[in-house]
């Protein structure tokens, strides 16, 4: 009787689990505004039809859906004006709030997509794609549900720099496909810069015959070549290396016909391509082709390469002719003209400019730059375009018709100044929107939780914040694999951030993200895999240790080497503990089932002893914190400095000062038990951690948020503790966590920190 009852209970338990799985929402990214699961399912099979009454409005979306379904079901799917049997209906709904909004209703008898525009229908199809299980071939059951969805921001973009390192047409199209899948709607295409001119301009053929090519002796290529010794992602792509005039050169460009091809491809996916031709700075590729653009010799100024001369009539003729072809080629309402990082030193010395500024009553070279930008703005507006410029445009004065791209995250009131001037703003601050910065285990979280609209923006100005985009500057990104490693998976965090507007449940997002790694594999994306868990970068052992980290997902395998070589998919799998009893360097990486390799970790192991605790009868709760105003490049700059203020603080944290400063935390760490402790130190900018007067974590220098880790062997009790931190005025990220016995990192309790009352 007991055995029979147990069998019944197990059956009921399994049934409840199956029902819970059936009723659980599909892992959609970005998360829809409203999603309601219903009972039942819809059978998607080759007998369905696609019904579109308004073919003029939704015809291209119906054909796009038809192609997708045929690839899944293996049979031609017909399109008709109405459903005579089970199918998918696309219909018009005038009540939806925007052109991108949609409703998706999956019922047992049919699927209904409702939208007021083709873009909304296209977004619904992307959601439907995510609901259809991956790698299915043939019939499949879809859960019944109701979705009402609309974007939180109009500008949901990414930026692609093809000047520093080139990406061919096929890869640009791949990128557009992936953007569409996650409901991005803008691609900012950075087509020209000092290192290469990538777009054909028919009036100036030397821009591509000369300006599109360079030798591999610049610092960016040299650094990539050096890094490629450790990581093949940094190898210069051989497809773009050629022999030209007896020299080995790197480069490439797009013809105008190829540009038109990409524009048409993007239009089918409802993505607007915004071209950027950066001027008056970042023009060395053009200057090499046409030296008349310069007054004087080309070279490196105080901060950047020499800009073109904005005081010569033939220069204005050149820039307007170039922008005329750009405006005619791209249907976007916007043209980005850059206007950033201009080294004005040569203008101050130029006789042309002195005369020009006097003639036009321009007080200084900042006003001269504004004059140039206004000339380009007036010209492009005559062509029916609006301009975008980087936020430096505000310094010399600008009118409210310019859209400002806010990138200098350390200028905290930059977006506020722009909206108070009436400018529309696209948010792309360096932290966390520069995706060429280190893609660490905190990057997706930082993107997901970022403020698109800063708290200081007045309510009546918030509508001027159009949205946000991620920038990918390619100085140190020579391959598609490295580009993808930098972009993913934080691109998915951005997709959700700008679609849902105010996401708060990062843990929920991360659970859905883990289920999307298989989709990224299917796309062939060489993404940054989730982090291997349960280890530190700098390790100590007392006698010996058993090293056994954890894979975040069972289908992802850890592989390692002990000979200094880079782990490959053929390297030894780390499936059982590795015994370490001598100084060792271990390299490891995570590999997905699709062949993607995660970050390559280099771990060092050195011998240690279990450090004795110290005794201080005068210890009190909290740490001493010395605060020093000033710009410091690293913790060494703090040595010998007198504190401007001294506090007793309960824990490690950074004040939200809108300036640069340094901090020194000093005291004891009171550990509750003997063991080898791992410490995880995240900071922006730099810091170092000392325990028992020994360096445990070196995370020094000026950098974006970066996590580094180390270990200390300690007996129970008080241990001397010191943490130095420098802030350059932008990030204010400072976090210290610990782990014992391989457990998940956690914040250090206040009760662990003590200081000596006798000092």
Has 226 been annotated as catalytic? no
Active site residue 531: no
Give the pair of three-digit tokens for residue 400: 């409210």
Where does residue 732 fall: left (phi above 0), alpha (psi -120 to 50 degrees), or beta otherwise? left
User: 511-514 — which CB contacts under 8 Å span 24+ positions?
Assistant: 511/27, 512/27, 512/28, 512/29, 512/31, 513/29, 513/444, 513/489, 514/552, 514/553
C-alpha torsion angle, residues 369, 372, 373, 374 (rounded to 10): 120
Other beta carbons within 10 Å of 87: 21
Residues 680 and 637: beta-carbon distance below 8 Å: no
The CA distance from 99 to 596, in Å, is: 37
Residue with tokens 């820039």: 319
Q: How far is CA 2 from CA 9, 13, 14, in A?
A: 10, 16, 18
Closest to 723 (Cα-Cα) out of 696, 757, 751, 750 = 696
CA distances in angstroms from 310 to 316, 327, 414, 542, 691, listed in the order given: 7, 21, 26, 67, 57
CB 196 within 8 A of CB 164: yes
The residue from 61, 100, 117, 193 that is catalytic is: 193
- Runs of H (alpha helix) within 148-235: 169-181, 206-209, 219-227
> One of 341, 343, 375, 533 is an active-site residue; which one?
341
Contact criterion met (CB below 8 Å) for 295 and 353: yes
263: its two tokens: 């524009």
Query: Has 55 been annotated as catalytic?
Result: no
Length of the chain: 759
Which residue matches tokens 């020579």? 478
Distance separating alpha carbons of residues 274 and 159, to the nearest angstrom:
9
Task: Give the chain's end-to-end CA distance (angstroms, integer).
Answer: 74
Q: Which helix (H) or strand (E) holds 445?
A: helix 443-448
Q: Cβ-count burial of 223 within 10 angstroms (0-12 exposed, 13-18 middle, 19+ buried)?
A: middle
Report the distance separating Cα 514 and Cα 602, nearest Å: 25
Sign of the CA dihedral running 178, 182, 188, 190: negative
Do residues 279 and 340 make contact, with C-beta atoms less than 8 angstroms apart?
Answer: no
Contact 635, 668 (CB under 8 A): no
Out of 159, 282, 719, 755, which one is annotated catalytic? Answer: 282
Tracing tokens 């980087």 back to the chain, one arrives at 390
Q: Angle at CA 183, nearest 5°, toward 180 and 186?
A: 75
Q: Is 610 exposed, middle or buried (0-12, 13-18, 19+ CB in 10 A)?
A: middle
User: DSSP for 257-311?
Assistant: HHHHHHHHHHHHTT-EEEEEEEESSS-HHHHHH-GGG-SS---B-SSSBPPPPTT
Cis status, amide bond into 685, omega within 30 of 0: yes
From CA 119, how far away is CA 266, in angstroms rounded?
12
Output the CA angle 509-510-513, nearest 5 degrees: 90
- Cα(437)–Cα(426) distance, rounded to whole angstroms? 19
Neighbours of 576 (CB within 10 A): 8
The β-bridge relationship of strands 601-607 and 584-591 is antiparallel
Measuring CA to CA, how many Å separate 80 from each of 46, 63, 697? 15, 11, 65
The span from the CA of 543 to the CA of 745, in Å, is 24
Pairing of strands 102-106, 78-80: unpaired
- In this structure, are strands 386-390 and 334-338 parallel, antiparallel, or unpaired? parallel
List residues with catalytic annotation: 193, 282, 341
């Amino acid at each position: 009787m007991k055995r029979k009852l147990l069998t019944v209970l197990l059956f009921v338990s399994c049934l409840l689990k199956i029902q819970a799985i059936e009723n659980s929402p599909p892992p959609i990214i970005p998360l829809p505004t409203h999603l309601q699961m219903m009972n039942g399912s819809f059978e998607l099979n080759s007998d369905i039809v696609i019904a579109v009454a308004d073919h003029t409005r939704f015809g291209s979306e119906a054909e796009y859906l038809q192609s997708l379904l045929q690839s899944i079901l293996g049979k031609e799917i017909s399109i008709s004006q109405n459903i005579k049997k089970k199918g998918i209906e696309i219909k018009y709904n005038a009540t939806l709030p925007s052109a991108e909004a949609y409703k998706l209703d999956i019922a047992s008898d049919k699927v209904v997509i409702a939208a007021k525009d083709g873009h909304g229908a296209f977004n619904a199809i992307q959601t439907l794609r995510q609901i259809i299980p991956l790698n299915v071939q043939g019939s499949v059951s879809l859960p019944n549900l109701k979705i009402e969805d609309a974007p939180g921001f109009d500008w949901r973009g990414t930026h692609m720099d093809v000047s520093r390192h080139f990406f061919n047409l096929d890869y640009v199209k791949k990128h557009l496909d992936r953007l569409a899948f996650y409901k991005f709607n803008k691609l900012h295409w950075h087509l020209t810069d000092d290192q290469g001119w990538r777009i054909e301009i028919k009036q100036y053929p030397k821009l591509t015959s000369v300006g599109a090519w360079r030798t591999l002796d610049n610092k960016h290529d040299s650094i990539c070549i050096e890094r490629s010794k450790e990581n093949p992602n940094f190898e210069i792509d051989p497809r773009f290396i050629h022999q030209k005039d007896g020299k080995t050169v790197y480069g490439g460009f797009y013809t105008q016909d190829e540009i038109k091809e990409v524009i048409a491809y993007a239009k089918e996916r409802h993505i607007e391509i915004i071209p950027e031709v950066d001027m008056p700075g970042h023009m060395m590729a053009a200057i090499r082709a046409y030296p008349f653009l310069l007054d004087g010799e080309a070279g490196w100024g105080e901060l950047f390469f020499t800009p073109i001369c904005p005081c010569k009539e033939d220069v204005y003729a050149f820039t307007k002719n170039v922008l005329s072809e750009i405006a005619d080629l791209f249907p976007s309402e916007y043209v980005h003209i850059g206007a950033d990082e201009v080294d004005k030193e040569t203008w101050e010395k130029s006789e042309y400019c002195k005369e020009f500024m006097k003639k036009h009553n321009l007080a200084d070279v900042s006003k001269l730059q504004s004059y140039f930008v206004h000339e380009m703005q007036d010209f492009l507006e005559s062509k029916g375009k609006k301009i975008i410029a980087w936020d430096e445009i505000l310094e010399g004065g600008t009118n409210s018709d310019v859209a400002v791209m806010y990138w200098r995250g350390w200028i905290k009131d930059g977006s506020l100044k722009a909206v108070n001037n009436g400018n529309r703003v696209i948010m792309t601050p360096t932290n966390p929107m520069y995706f060429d910065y280190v893609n660490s285990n905190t990057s997706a979280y930082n993107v997901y939780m970022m403020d698109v609209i800063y708290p200081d923006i007045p309510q009546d100005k918030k509508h001027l914040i159009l949205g946000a985009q991620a920038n990918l500057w390619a100085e140190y990104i020579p391959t598609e694999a490295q580009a993808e490693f930098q972009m993913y998976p934080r691109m998915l965090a951005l997709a959700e951030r700008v679609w849902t507007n105010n996401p708060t449940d990062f843990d929920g997002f991360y659970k859905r993200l883990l289920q999307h790694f298989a989709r990224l594999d299917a796309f062939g994306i060489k993404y940054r895999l989730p982090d291997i868990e349960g280890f530190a970068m700098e390790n100590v052992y007392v006698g010996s240790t058993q090293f056994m980290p954890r894979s975040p997902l069972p289908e992802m395998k850890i592989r390692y080497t002990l000979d200094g070589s880079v782990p490959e998919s053929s390297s030894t799998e780390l499936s059982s503990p590795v015994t370490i009893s001598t100084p060792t360097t271990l390299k490891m990486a995570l590999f997905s089932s699709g062949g993607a390799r995660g970050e390559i970790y280099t771990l060092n192991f050195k011998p240690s002893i279990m450090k004795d605790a110290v005794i201080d009868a005068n210890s009190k709760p909290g740490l001493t914190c010395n605060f020093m105003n000033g710009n410091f490049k690293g913790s060494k700059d703090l040595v010998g400095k007198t504190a401007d203020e001294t506090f007793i603080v309960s824990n490690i944290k950074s004040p939200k000062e809108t300036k640069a400063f340094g901090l020194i935390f000093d005291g004891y760490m009171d550990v509750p038990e003997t063991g080898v402790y791992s410490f995880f130190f995240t900071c922006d900018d730099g810091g170092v951690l000392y325990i028992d007067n020994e360096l445990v974590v070196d995370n020094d220098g000026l950098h974006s948020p970066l996590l580094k880790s180390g270990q200390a062997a300690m007996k129970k009790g008080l241990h001397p503790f010191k943490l130095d931190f420098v802030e350059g005025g932008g990030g204010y990220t400072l976090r210290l966590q610990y782990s014992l016995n391989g457990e998940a990192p956690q914040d250090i309790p206040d009760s662990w920190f003590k200081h000596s009352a006798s000092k």
